[in-house]
Amino acid sequence: MSLETVSETRSHGGVQGVYRHASTSTNTDMVYSVFVPPQVALGRPLPVLWYLSGLTCTHANVTEKGEFRAACAEQGIIFVAPDTSPRGPDVPDDPEGLWDFGQGAGFYLDATEEPWSRHFNMATYIVDELPLLIAEHFPADMMRQGITGHSMGGHGALTLALRNPGLFRSVSAFAPIVAPGLVPWGRKALRHYLGELGPAWRQHDTVALIEDGARVGELLVDVGEADPFLEKELRPELLESACDLAGIDLTLRRHAGYDHSYYFISTFMADHVRWHAQRLAG
């Protein structure tokens, strides 16, 4: 599979790149960023950490504001940041013109409803298509993958890991939407992409997946106590209860004064990179 180099920039001894390719999953061009740390010079494949962004974001938000490169260079981690949805003039968007659905809000699932199903296949894109491209063009050890994300991307990281046991050796999240079937952002997206409330919704809901028997070994989740979406959209207490009942080792850290922004994410990003590095070593 071919890719187009949009830009490559030296950073922390490695290379921060932005790339474009024609996706067969989304039937659009997709743009993503990859940081390759200086350990590439050692000539051996390096572990990969996927970062899934939240509502309205592209690859650029975390690439420019996430402050992950120093920790990735220290730990020898390749950092991959895809876009959050397909984009383009032929891609349908929120009919209400709002920001929480459509382009920029793919919710990391494969849509089954028209007009979304032709383009909005982000689960297949993240799990199947883009990893093949990364493996072909970068020095990536695809047997050592971790995944993290923020908000909608935290939802994506958790659900994709639960739905694909063994694919990711480590899973974490920043301020994830853990029960989309119960909150406004999620209910809007699931209804449009998957149809009215039914079993398909549970396959894209972290708490429901755990209730239905899906498991990961451990989770690291950070939330800010000043996050304006904490009580209405994120509901971390539901994840805490589900993990407790399922015996999943959850480290849920609540941080006083922190909100939903990249000021919050960048503060704790190095913690997450190092946590993943420990689990991706060897």
Q: What is the pLDDT of residues 74-99, one digit of tens each?
A: 999 999 999 999 999 999 999 888 99
Cβ-count burial 121-143 (b if 16+ within 10 Å, e if not): bbbebbbebbbebbeebbbbeee
Classify 18 as helix, strand or coil: strand
Annotated catalytic residue 260: yes
Number of other residues whose CB lies within 10 A of the CB of residue 27: 14
192, 204, 227, 272: the active-site residue: 227
Q: Which two tokens stand for residue 126?
A: 């993240």
8-55 per-position pLDDT tens digit: 999 999 999 999 999 999 999 999 999 999 999 999 999 999 999 999
Q: What is the mean pLDDT of residues 146-163?
A: 98
Distance of alpha carbon 206 from alpha carbon 226, whole angstroms: 23
pLDDT at 95: 87
Catalytically annotated residue among 23, 33, 53, 151: 151
**pLDDT value of position 97:** 87
Q: Does the pLDDT of residue 59 top 90, yes or no?
A: yes
Q: What is the pLDDT of residue 56?
A: 97
User: Of 210, 181, 213, whose CA–CA distance to 197 is shortest?
Assistant: 181
pLDDT single digits (tens) 247-282:
999 999 999 999 999 999 999 999 999 999 999 997
Mean pLDDT of the region 220-225: 98
| Mean of per-residue pLDDT scores for the chain | 97
Mean pLDDT of 50-62: 98
> Is the confidence at residue 230, as pLDDT, over 80?
yes
Structural domain total, the chain: 1
Residue 107 confidence (pLDDT) above 80: yes
Active-site residue, selected from the candidate residues 119, 155, 192, 260: 260
pLDDT of residue 198: 87
For residue 71, what are its two tokens?
A: 């920790």
pLDDT at 124 over 80: yes
249 catalytically annotated: no
- For 230, which DSSP code? I
Start-to-end C-alpha separation, the chain? 29
pTM for the predicted model, two decimal places: 0.97
At 173, which helix (H) or strand (E)? strand 170-174
- Could you list the residue range(s) of the whole structural domain that residue 11 is in? 4-280
CATH number, domain with residue 84: 3.40.50.1820
- The separation between CA 74 and the C-alpha centre of its own chain, rounded to angstroms, equals 22
Residue 100: what pLDDT?
95
**Residue 129: what are its φ and ψ, rounded to 5°?**
-75, -55
pLDDT tens, 176-213? 999 999 999 999 999 999 999 889 999 999 999 999 99
Handedness of CA 110, 243, 241, 258 (dihedral sign): negative
Cα(190)–Cα(200) distance, integer angstroms = 9
d(C-alpha 65, C-alpha 88), whole Å:
24
